[in-house]
Amino acid sequence: MKKLVLLFFVLFLFSCDKDAEENAIPFTGFYKISSMTADQPIDINNDGLASTNLMEEMELYFNNTAPDLEIRPHEFTESNALLIAFSFPDQFSVGGYPEYTSGYFDFNKSTLGSSFKFIDDEIILETNSIEEIAVVLQTVTYRNDIVEAAYTKAYYDFKTDEWEELNITVVYVKMDL
């Protein structure tokens, strides 16, 4: 009887290891934005030139080394929970612009975090929006070591002097830490 219980215990352990391998996520870690493209040209930096390349429009925001995306679990975490955190450039007014022409816009790093599932190259988020910064993630995919996200967010356009809702495609590449 003891041998039978031991056999079931050993089989249970191997089946747990197999389940863990099958559920392993191959792309966990930290990522930086490599491109951020809008569906329409916009002048976010008030240089008089509208562009779909948002990395050029928000150049100062991208002059940092902090990750823009974290996918867990990874080597620095103790939990095996599937968690993802996206950081977005969130535009805010400094000095009362656009009402007062002496002001301007700057950017905060705002984060959307969620648990997720990975099915057929698509990352399915439990939460896909943050009301406070008006961002909605439409799709998130992983293919060939690249994470791509499509989201909707409004930014102030100095060319039209209005807030424009943009459909934005962001490509993330893995960082070496």
Averaged pLDDT score across all residues of the chain? 79
Residue 166 has pLDDT above 90, yes or no: yes
Q: What is the pLDDT of residue 142?
A: 86
Predicted TM-score (pTM) of the model is 0.77
Lowest mean pLDDT among 93-97, 101-105, 110-114, 118-122: 101-105
What are the φ and ψ backbone dihedral angles of 10, each rounded to 5 degrees? -65, -45
* E strand map for the chain: 29-42, 51-53, 69-72, 83-94, 104-119, 122-125, 129-130, 135-143, 146-157, 162-174
Q: What is the pLDDT of residue 110?
A: 84
At the second CATH level, the architecture of 26-174 is Beta Barrel (2.40)
Domain ranges of the chain: 26-174
Distances (CA, A) of 7 to 10, 15, 19, 21, 48: 5, 12, 18, 21, 73
Q: Could you give the CA distance from residue 91 to residue 48 in angstroms, rounded to a whole number?
A: 18
* 29-42 vs 104-119, strand pairing mode: unpaired
